[in-house]
Copies of this chain bind each other. A is one copy, B any other.
Amino acid sequence: MKDFIFDISTKIFFGADQLKNLPSEIKKYGTRVLIVYGQNSIKKIGLYDKIVKIFKEDNIDYFELSGIVPNPRIDKVREGVDLAKENKIDFILAVGGGSVIDTAKLVAVGAYSNCDPWEIVIGNEEPKGGIPFGSVLTLSATGSEMDLGSVITNEETGQKLAWGSEYARPKFAVMNPELTFSVNSYHTAAGTADIMSHTMENYFTLNDGAFLQDRMAEAILKTCIKYGPIAIAEPENYEARANLMWAGSWAINGLLDTGKNTAWSVHPMEHELSALRDITHGVGLAILTPYWLEYCLDEETQGKIAEFGYNVFNLDRGKSIDEDAKNAIAELRKFFTSVGIPEDLKDVGFKEVDLPVMAKNCVENREKPEINGFKKLKEEDVLKIYKMAF
């Protein structure tokens, strides 16, 4: 196990009746709040009204940044930074899923800086501080409610990039599984795939002796495999929604990669998909992951992939490790298709001509000319995986 520092100070208020804690938590920081949200869904489910009522009753002044879309854009961040500066915002409340929280993170950090916020994303500018922020979560997927990362898209440059900072650590998250009852089956499946992908990015490493962390990862994967289909079949099943929601936070809050040599592979490859064609992130991940595992499968990796099959899918040991690993990958693909996720890139609108462009960008957008994950991937490897997945 490698040395590590672990620190998750985000306070979680989990359950159906936790919104009441908003005023006391927010007032630790001030009374001028910027609410960040997406389109109409928080109004449809009555959440917007509830929050506004609480704010009015508790003399909290609020301002709004709305219209955040999936694969959230830098333009909206810029708008939010201006709003925060103009209105001397003390606290930012993200109400929504990962896109909304990721936007709030860059607004929070961007408002403490004098540069264009995109400079922070591409690493040209170091974050110097951040407005404190928290969230009311409405989607189980990205885990952004309890981690330091954020992914922002720049349509001008065609880039979708991840950044992170200690100043992007949420103060709290209100997590009410009921708020995800209205998430449709496609987005429930995509969210489940996103949680599983975060877990698998942390899980598929070699020889780091982090047994505990890998068993924890399997716990999350088993939870997704059990409850993803239940949440799709019975959208108002509280137990299913609650388990998925809590699993989503733990997949990426830092526990699973403590002491491990993790380096994510599928996320960078997927970011190019959703940057180019604006597809749902979790769908892109679910399409790519089985192909990526097939591409990585060799004598060095087969043991770990086979172990995934035994421990997560309860597969029996067969004639060879290689065969067991192949069966594990097949089970994973079968699970994704069973929840309605398409199997190939052409099913979600990609053309063959897109693939070399994305492979080139995928590697060029990294600091090093390769993805240094389960297997090292150079541009030609990424292209081969895209072609397999096409």
Residue numbers of A with Cβ under 8 A of B are: 1-9, 11-18, 177, 209-213, 215-216, 218-220, 222-223, 226-227, 238-239, 242-243, 246-247, 250, 258-259
Which of B11, B18, B211, B239 has a CB less than 8 Å from the CB of A209? B239
User: A14 contacts B223, CB within 8 Å?
Assistant: no
Bound form: Cα–Cα A218–B177 in Å: 24
Q: Nearest residue in B to A209 (C-beta to C-beta)?
A: B239
Please indicate the chain B residues that have their CB under 8 angstroms from the CB of A11 in the complex.
Answer: 5-7
Please indicate the chain B residues that have their CB under 8 angstroms from the CB of A211 in the complex.
Answer: 222-223, 226-227, 239, 243
Q: How far is the CB of A15 from chain B (nearest CB, A)?
A: 3
User: A223 contacts B215, CB within 8 Å?
Assistant: yes
Q: How far is the CB of A123 from chain B (nearest CB, A)?
A: 25
Bound form: Cα–Cα A149–B259 in Å: 26
Q: How far is the CB of A325 from chain B (nearest CB, A)?
A: 20
User: B14 contacts A3, CB within 8 Å?
Assistant: yes
Contact A14-B18, Cβ < 8 Å, known A211-B223, A246-B259: no
Q: Nearest residue in B to A146 (C-beta to C-beta)?
A: B6
Q: How far is the CB of A227 from chain B (nearest CB, A)?
A: 7
Bound form: Cα–Cα A176–B11 in Å: 27
Bound form: Cα–Cα A211–B13 in Å: 19
Q: Nearest residue in B to A242 (C-beta to C-beta)?
A: B1
Bound form: Cα–Cα A220–B5 in Å: 20
Please indicate the chain B residues that have their CB under 8 angstroms from the CB of A2 in the complex.
Answer: 15
Q: How far is the CB of A4 from chain B (nearest CB, A)?
A: 5
Bound form: Cα–Cα A340–B40 in Å: 63
Most buried by B among A4, A5, A212: A212
Please indicate the chain B residues that have their CB under 8 angstroms from the CB of A8 in the complex.
Answer: 8-9
Please indicate the chain B residues that have their CB under 8 angstroms from the CB of A243 in the complex.
Answer: 1, 209-212
Q: Nearest residue in B to A176 (C-beta to C-beta)?
A: B3
User: B209 contacts A219, CB within 8 Å?
Assistant: no
User: A212 contacts B14, CB within 8 Å?
Assistant: no
